């Protein structure tokens, strides 16, 4: 039987989305901005009612794929016909997480939604 790994030492992938997100509670919002990616419009920051909302959204961008579905050749040597199909893969929402900081800049709560949040939410270092 294998050794038990203490929770604090468990691999990030084994941690739940809640455990990773809740690790930010009580921390300074500045740490979020330092540790999580903010380039390319990755984070939206909104202020309302004395609170600041920091929202990250992860997606898989839409993409196209050219797939050969049939081909033929002359005597098995020279390709004569290739039939391909263009497959369009739509954009896929992975996860959206919002951390809410109070007036002092401390993270007080969070909310998230999406099928890939367990993989995409990052715990503090």
- Domains of the chain with CATH codes: 15-60+92-120 (3.30.1450)
pTM of the model: 0.72
* Mean pLDDT of the region 27-31: 95
Give pLDDT, residue 7: 39
pLDDT tens digits, residue range 77-110? 766 777 788 899 999 999 999 999 999 999 999 9
Cβ-contact 115, 122 below 8 angstroms? no
Give pLDDT, residue 4: 41
- 3-state secondary structure (DSSP) of residue 38: coil
Instruction: Please report where in the chains the tokens 């903010």 appear, as a residue.
Output: 38
Sign of dihedral through CA atoms 28, 32, 33, 35?
A: positive
* Mean pLDDT of the region 68-75: 72
Mean pLDDT of the chain: 84
**Other residues' Cβ atoms within 10 Å of the Cβ of residue 44:** 12
């Amino acid at each position: 039987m294998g050794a038990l790994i203490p929770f604090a030492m468990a691999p990030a992938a084994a941690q739940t989305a809640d455990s990773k997100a809740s690790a930010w509670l009580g921390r300074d919002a500045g740490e979020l901005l330092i540790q999580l990616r903010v380039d390319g419009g990755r984070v939206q920051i909104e202020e309302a009612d004395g609170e600041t909302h920091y929202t990250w959204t992860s997606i898989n961008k839409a993409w196209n794929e050219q797939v050969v579905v049939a081909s033929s050749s002359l005597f098995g040597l020279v390709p004569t016909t290739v039939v391909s199909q263009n497959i369009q893969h739509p954009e896929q929402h992975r996860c959206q997480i919002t951390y809410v900081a109070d007036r002092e800049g401390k993270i007080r709560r969070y909310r998230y939604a999406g099928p890939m949040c367990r993989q995409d939410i990052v715990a503090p270092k």
